[in-house]
């Protein structure tokens, strides 16, 4: 509590002061945003004048390192030293491929193209005296071609490639003389190109230049022998930038009307603990990377207090005149974010014990708060893929989507003045210290072809589509739908199992008590006990049944789905010797559910990876590979039908058997077991009990990573064939495994998939009354291999996720539209089959009373189910939330439990409200008129099951009543005679 008060006091002080450290409120602000609603994808657009750009750096792409009089740069020298294996001598050869680059830029549809000038191509030795006309003309031509396609240039004067002559003769940026030399170079560029350039970047990422070029030696010029040198270099870089800005402001801005800034890169950092000290360390980490240069430019012309306090005399100081010279020398905040720095070039010493994460939105907010709301132009953003990636770069594409989406939220929700976004980069090239080990281009470059052929990657197609739509406009399918489900819709809740009580707890205490009428207390009388109660136990005697049924009733559902335990009900495997106590308990549970107007839905066998749940003899005898197991299962099913079928009208034979750990031969026997159990019900019990039987399949949706690519649509279909069609097609379709599944395995020369003989085909085909699925999440698949840990070699598919999706605590994506697609898949493949969503839920921290993620999850998934029913015509019959309680299904429950206390979570009342309204009725519409459901008649099954006995019972009752009346009136008449 003391820490919290101190934090609030500190924040109040910093807010009042506004500057410095105004960005400190960022972490507090984002921790209070509504969860998970704030993390949901935002469908909206940027303003009409938003800048859409793409960028490159000269050394990475130009090549022609000695062509037409170009001088050497420090990177030309650096790549030839040490253990480095590759150079940028050729790069992507943009010097000879202006036409190809311009074609790519035009195809993207960007409004701006950011590129850098190679200082040593214009001034080979770094100074005006070495002016190279041919090199200068290259940039004139590039700018002219850009103007022809109506693309505005964003020109960087210095992107890390200092003329080597200046490094060798003057010591590079460590020498203050470079301030005037750079100013003169800038003057030439402003004069030569300025009439056509409205956005200038003086220096790109001075942090990398200073710390990594002159400190750690990771990048050129590779100096690492003086720990204080980076700060002197940074000092000179700031002065050089300021000199160039003032030059432009005085001599060129009045005529050219351009804007100028320095591109600053940063990571993002989050507190490792919720303490004031951790927040201060986060602020200090950003100050050491971004604030090092941003504070002098945007605040007061001096370094952050944190840097000054920790570095002392190691950090150079500005004179008052220099402060005034540096302060305010940026017309916009040019922000670089992504792979150039994050998780790459920030070592732990600059994180101060805090945790680095990727979050462009929070970084934008921090910049906005810390530097008094400057216009922010994201001048570099993106991610990377492996060096062997070709035209399919799913990881890059989804990171691009994430960063653009975060920029959009920053603008729309947070009010940050984001004026533009630059995807990095246009084409593959030389990736600095990573050489050619990674690729960042939107266009693939084949380095082995003479003309360095460029081909658009899927990330280019994605970026072009975003630009065309100016963001992510909301489409009809993204909007919630209003409407209701049919009156007979099955609203349910599922549980893997129920709590079992072996003996009734009611009437088991033999003690005698005395009741104090004054205070209502019961006092136990020692030495006294009541005689044993001579009565058969009743269903109402089980306290656990009463408790569980009451919990279910409170939710408002009309169905409850639970699983029986085969191994416990028939321990020996012989149905002639069942566990009658447990069977009686299950029967009582089902009966009490019906009395509460809740229909039991019972699973005979629930597949789990931890144990087989088969009776011990079968478990020891090769489990499902034993050909006797299907018959034993059918016998077990008949036992359950006979003993419980009067109360159970919906049966699930096998729950989620389609697990990747199940072998094809095991699955084959499971299909036979299901079919035998279905036929047993159909022949012997259906006409008496009137129930329905099917199996339930685990059906998470599988979406192509690139929905516009046939090469990814096919892998998605393949995965669905192998995990859904595997069980569905033999039962609901042809009676055989999917054609695609069999042909793929044949292509792999695999004979593992069993063949149905004609008897088994006829046995299995059509053994269903409905299609039941368990659905929890959605996955993306692509055929392009990027990560061996999530690559399935047998199916040749790469599994991945969209980084904009909300993630549960166990990193399961929350993707509501996946349920709608899964339901439509069933409809497309098996027509008008009745469908039940038998389990749908998300795991959340069991300690959260306000389970806001589950509230969001249930609302949106049920709404997608409603879309499938009302808009798509799916024959959806029911929806079951998973699960009832954390006690049996930890983290998934609508009920939580702390120690012995059970409590309602927020999701329970929200789900109950949806059930009460039977969906999401249109506001102002007439309420749905549904007929009252008939109350269950628990004794009526006697008449159905044994009509002769029922008839005789009625006749006998009538005779007894008649005799009673005769005797009564006879005696009455006899008395009247006297």
Model pLDDT for residues 427-454, shown as the tens digit of each residue: 999 999 999 999 999 999 999 999 999 9
Averaged pLDDT, 890-917:
94
928: DSSP letter: P
Structure tokens at 662: 């199940």
d(Cα 291, Cα 285) in Å, to the nearest integer? 9
- Provide the pairing of β-strand 599-606 with 895-898: unpaired
Predicted local confidence at residue 301, as pLDDT? 97
pLDDT surpasses 60 at 4:
no
Predicted local confidence at residue 708, as pLDDT? 72
At residue 885, φ and ψ (nearest 5 deg) are -145, 150
pLDDT surpasses 60 at 96:
yes
pLDDT surpasses 80 at 504:
no
Beta strand spans in 619-758 (E): 650-655, 692-698, 701-704
Averaged pLDDT, 802-815:
95
Instruction: Please identify which residue in the block is written with the tokens 């549980």.
Output: 495
Number of alpha helices (DSSP H) and beta strands (DSSP E) in the chain: 36, 36
Kindly report the number of other CB atoms within 10 A of residue 227's CB atom. 10
d(Cα 25, Cα 11) in Å, to the nearest integer? 7
Confidence at 712, pLDDT banded by 50, 70, 90: confident
Q: Of 873, 864, 910, whose CA–CA distance to 478 is shortest?
A: 864
Q: Of 275, 315, 269, 314, whose CA–CA distance to 295 is shortest?
A: 315
Averaged pLDDT, 256-276:
94
All structural domains of the chain with their residue ranges: 37-471, 490-504+513-920
pLDDT surpasses 90 at 540:
no
At residue 262, φ and ψ (nearest 5 deg) are -115, 130
Cis peptide before 221 (omega within 30 of 0): yes
Beta strand spans in 557-638 (E): 559-563, 599-606
d(Cα 274, Cα 290) in Å, to the nearest integer? 23
pLDDT surpasses 50 at 18:
no
Angle in degrees, 0-180, between the axes of helices 817-830 and 852-870, rounded to the nearest 10:
30
Residues 306, 310, 312, 315, CA torsion sign: negative
Confidence at 16, pLDDT banded by 50, 70, 90: very low
130: DSSP letter: G
Neighbouring-strand partners of residue 54: 113, 423
Predicted local confidence at residue 528, as pLDDT? 64
CATH classification for the domain delimited by 490-504+513-920, as one of 3.20.20.70, 3.30.160.40, 3.20.20.80, 3.30.70.20: 3.20.20.80
Averaged pLDDT, 727-752:
95
d(Cα 497, Cα 378) in Å, to the nearest integer? 53
Classify 214 as helix, strand or coil.
helix
Predicted local confidence at residue 296, as pLDDT? 98
Predicted local confidence at residue 603, as pLDDT? 98
Q: In terms of pLDDT, which residue wins out, 375 or 15?
A: 375
Beta strand spans in 295-452 (E): 333-338, 355-357, 376-382, 385-386, 418-424, 438-439, 443-445
Q: Which of 430-434, 620-624, 816-820, 963-967 has the lowest mean pLDDT?
A: 963-967
Predicted local confidence at residue 961, as pLDDT? 63
| 511-520, long-range: CB < 8 A, 24+ apart | none
How buried is residue 749: exposed, middle or buried, by Cβ count under 10 Å (0-12/13-18/19+)?
exposed
Averaged pLDDT, 51-68:
97
pLDDT surpasses 60 at 942:
no
d(Cα 407, Cα 471) in Å, to the nearest integer? 10
pLDDT surpasses 60 at 781:
yes
Q: Of 691, 690, 643, 652, whose CA–CA distance to 670 is shortest?
A: 652
Predicted local confidence at residue 709, as pLDDT? 75
Predicted local confidence at residue 933, as pLDDT? 61
Predicted local confidence at residue 847, as pLDDT? 73
pLDDT surpasses 80 at 533:
no
Confidence at 952, pLDDT banded by 50, 70, 90: low
d(Cα 549, Cα 661) in Å, to the nearest integer? 34
Confidence at 7, pLDDT banded by 50, 70, 90: very low
Predicted local confidence at residue 519, as pLDDT? 66
d(Cα 681, Cα 603) in Å, to the nearest integer? 14
Classify 472 as helix, strand or coil.
strand
> 970 Cβ partners below 8 Å, 6+ apart?
none
Q: Of 648, 683, 682, 653, whose CA–CA distance to 941 is shortest?
A: 648
Confidence at 542, pLDDT banded by 50, 70, 90: confident
CA of residue 24 relative to chain centroid, distance? 28
Neighbouring-strand partners of residue 73: 163
d(Cα 317, Cα 234) in Å, to the nearest integer? 11
How buried is residue 755: exposed, middle or buried, by Cβ count under 10 Å (0-12/13-18/19+)?
exposed
Angle made by CA atoms 770, 772, 776, in degrees to the nearest 5? 160
Averaged pLDDT, 603-615:
89
d(Cα 56, Cα 112) in Å, to the nearest integer? 12
Which DSSP string corresponds to 379-407?
EEEE--EETT--S--HHHHHHHHHHHHHH
Mean pLDDT of the chain: 91
Kindly report the number of other CB atoms within 10 A of residue 29's CB atom. 15
Averaged pLDDT, 668-689:
98
pLDDT surpasses 70 at 560:
yes
d(Cα 403, Cα 361) in Å, to the nearest integer? 8
Q: Of 695, 705, 741, whose CA–CA distance to 720 is shortest?
A: 741
Contact call for residues 19 and 299 (beta carbons, < 8 A): yes
Neighbouring-strand partners of residue 336: 265, 380
Contact call for residues 705 and 712 (beta carbons, < 8 A): yes
pLDDT digits (tens, 9 = 90+) for 788-798: 889 999 999 99
d(Cα 735, Cα 767) in Å, to the nearest integer? 10
Residues 602, 603, 608, 613, CA torsion sign: positive
| Topology annotation, domain 37-471 | TIM Barrel (3.20.20)
pLDDT surpasses 50 at 5:
no
d(Cα 381, Cα 641) in Å, to the nearest integer? 62
How buried is residue 635: exposed, middle or buried, by Cβ count under 10 Å (0-12/13-18/19+)?
middle
Neighbouring-strand partners of residue 363: none
Instruction: Please identify which residue in the block is written with the tokens 């039908």.
Output: 641
Contact call for residues 553 and 596 (beta carbons, < 8 A): yes
CA of residue 185 relative to chain centroid, distance? 48
163: DSSP letter: B
Contact call for residues 869 and 876 (beta carbons, < 8 A): yes
Contact call for residues 43 and 478 (beta carbons, < 8 A): yes
Predicted local confidence at residue 21, as pLDDT? 86
Contact call for residues 276 and 216 (beta carbons, < 8 A): no
Confidence at 977, pLDDT banded by 50, 70, 90: very low
Contact call for residues 615 and 567 (beta carbons, < 8 A): yes
Give me the percent of the chain exceeding a pLDDT of 90.
81
b/e 32-60 (16+ beta carbons within 10 angstroms → b): eeeebeebbbbeebbeeebbbbbbbbbbb
Classify 372 as helix, strand or coil.
coil
Structure tokens at 444: 């693939």
Neighbouring-strand partners of residue 779: 702
Predicted local confidence at residue 341, as pLDDT? 60
Domains 37-471 and 490-504+513-920 share a fold: yes
pLDDT digits (tens, 9 = 90+) for 169-214: 999 999 999 999 999 999 999 999 999 999 999 999 999 999 999 9
b/e 317-351 (16+ beta carbons within 10 angstroms → b): ebeeebeebbbbbbbbbbbbbbbbbbebbbeeebb
Predicted local confidence at residue 976, as pLDDT? 39
pTM: 0.89
Residues 766, 768, 771, 774, CA torsion sign: negative
Give me the percent of the chain exceeding a pLDDT of 70.
89
């Amino acid at each position: 509590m003391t820490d919290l008060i101190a934090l609030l006091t500190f924040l109040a002080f910093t807010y009042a002061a506004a500057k410095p450290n105004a960005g400190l409120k960022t972490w507090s602000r984002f921790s209070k945003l509504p969860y998970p609603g704030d993390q949901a994808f935002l469908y909206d657009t940027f303003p009409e004048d938003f800048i859409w750009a793409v960028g490159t750096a000269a050394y990475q792409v130009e090549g022609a390192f000695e062509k037409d009089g170009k001088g050497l740069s420090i990177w030309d020298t650096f790549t030839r030293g040490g253990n480095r294996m590759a150079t940028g001598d050729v790069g992507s050869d943009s010097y000879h491929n202006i036409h190809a680059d311009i074609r790519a830029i035009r195809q993207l549809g960007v409004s701006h193209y950011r590129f850098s000038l190679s200082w040593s191509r214009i001034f080979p030795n770094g100074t005006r005296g070495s002016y190279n006309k041919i090199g200068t003309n290259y940039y004139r031509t590039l700018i002219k071609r850009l103007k022809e396609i109506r693309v505005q240039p964003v020109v960087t004067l210095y992107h890390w490639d200092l003329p080597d002559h200046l490094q060798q003769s003057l010591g590079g940026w460590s020498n203050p003389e470079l301030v005037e030399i750079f100013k003169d170079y800038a003057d030439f560029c402003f004069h030569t190109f300025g009439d056509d350039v409205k956005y200038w970047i003086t220096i790109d990422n001075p942090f990398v230049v200073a710390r990594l070029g002159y400190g750690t030696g990771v990048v050129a010029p590779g100096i690492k022998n003086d720990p204080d040198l980076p700060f002197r270099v940074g000092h000179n870089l700031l002065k050089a930038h300021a000199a160039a800005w003032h030059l432009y402001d005085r001599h060129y801005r009045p005529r050219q009307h351009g804007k100028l800034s320095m591109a600053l890169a940063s990571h993002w950092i989050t507190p490792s603990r919720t303490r004031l000290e951790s927040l201060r360390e986060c602020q200090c980490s950003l100050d050491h990377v971004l604030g090092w240069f941003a504070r002098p430019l945007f605040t007061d012309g001096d370094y952050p207090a944190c840097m000054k306090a920790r570095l002392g005399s190691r950090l150079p100081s500005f004179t008052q005149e220099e402060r005034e010279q540096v302060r305010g020398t940026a017309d916009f905040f040019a922000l670089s974010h992504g792979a150039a720095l994050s998780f790459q070039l920030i070592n732990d010493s600059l994180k101060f014990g805090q945790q680095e994460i990727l979050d462009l939105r929070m970084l934008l907010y921090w910049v906005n708060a810390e530097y008094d709301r400057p216009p922010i132009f994201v001048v570099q953003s993106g991610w990377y893929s492996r060096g062997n990636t070709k035209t399919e770069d799913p990881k890059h594409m989804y990171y691009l989507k994430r960063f653009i989406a975060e920029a959009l939220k920053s603008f729309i929700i947070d009010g940050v003045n984001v004026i533009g976004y630059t995807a990095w980069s246009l084409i593959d090239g030389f990736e600095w210290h990573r050489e050619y080990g990674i690729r960042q281009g939107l266009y693939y470059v084949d380095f082995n072809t003479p003309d360095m052929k460029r081909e658009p990657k899927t990330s280019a197609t994605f970026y072009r589509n975003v630009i065309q739509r100016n963001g992510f406009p909301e489409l009809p399918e993204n909007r919630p739908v209003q409407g209701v489900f049919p009156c007979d819709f099955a609203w349910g809740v599922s549980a893997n199992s129920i709590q079992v009580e072996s003996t009734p707890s009611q009437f088991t205490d033999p003690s005698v008590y005395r009741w104090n009428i004054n205070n209502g207390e019961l006092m136990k009388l020692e030495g006294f006990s009541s005689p044993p109660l001579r009565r058969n136990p009743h269903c109402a005697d089980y306290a656990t049944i009463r408790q569980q049924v009451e919990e279910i009733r409170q939710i408002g559902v009309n169905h409850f789905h639970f699983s029986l335990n085969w191994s416990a009900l028939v321990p020996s495997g012989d149905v002639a010797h069942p566990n009658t106590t447990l069977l009686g308990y299950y029967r009582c549970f089902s009966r009490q559910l019906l009395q509460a107007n809740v229909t039991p839905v019972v699973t005979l066998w629930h597949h789990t990876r931890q144990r087989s749940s088969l009776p011990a003899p079968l478990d020891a005898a090769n489990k499902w590979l034993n050909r006797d197991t299907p018959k034993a299962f059918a016998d077990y099913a008949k036992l359950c039908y006979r003993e419980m079928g009067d109360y159970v009208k919906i049966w699930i034979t096998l729950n989620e058997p389609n697990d990747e750990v199940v072998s094809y031969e095991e699955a084959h026997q499971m299909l036979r077991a299901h079919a035998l159990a279905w036929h047993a019900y159909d022949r012997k019990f259906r006409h008496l009990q009137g129930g329905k039987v099917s199996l339930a399949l685990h059906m998470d949706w599988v979406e192509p990573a690139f929905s516009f690519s046939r090469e990814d649509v096919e892998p998605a279909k393949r995965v669905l064939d192998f995990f859904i069609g595997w069980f569905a097609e033999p039962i609901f379709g042809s009676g055989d495994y999917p054609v695609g599944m069999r042909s793929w395995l044949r292509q792999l020369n695999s004979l593992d998939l069993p063949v149905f003989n004609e008897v088994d085909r006829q046995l299995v085909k059509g053994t269903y009354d409905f299609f039941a699925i368990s659905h929890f999440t959605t996955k993306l698949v692509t055929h392009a291999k990027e990560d061996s840990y999530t690559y399935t070699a047998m199916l040749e598919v790469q599994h991945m996720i969209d980084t904009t999706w909300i993630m549960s605590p166990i990193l399961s994506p929350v993707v509501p539209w996946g349920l709608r697609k899964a339901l439509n898949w069933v409809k497309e493949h098996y027509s008008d089959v009745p469908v039940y969503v038998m389990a749908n839920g998300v795991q959340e921290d069991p300690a959260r009373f306000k389970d806001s993620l589950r509230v969001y999850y249930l609302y949106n998934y049920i709404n997608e189910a409603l879309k499938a029913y009302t808009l798509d015509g799916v024959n959806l019959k029911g929806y079951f939330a998973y699960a009832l309680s954390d006690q049996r299904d930890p983290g998934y429950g609508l009920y939580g439990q702390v120690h012995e206390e059970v409590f309602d979570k927020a999701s329970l009342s929200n789900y109950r409200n949806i059930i009460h309204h039977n969906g999401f009725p249109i506001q102002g519409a007439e309420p749905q008129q549904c007929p009252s459901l008939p109350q269950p008649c628990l004794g009526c099954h006697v008449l159905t099951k044994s009509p002769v006995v029922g008839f005789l019972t009625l006749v006998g009752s009538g005779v007894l009543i008649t005799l009673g009346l005769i005797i009564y009136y006879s005696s009455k008449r006899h008395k009247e005679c006297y």
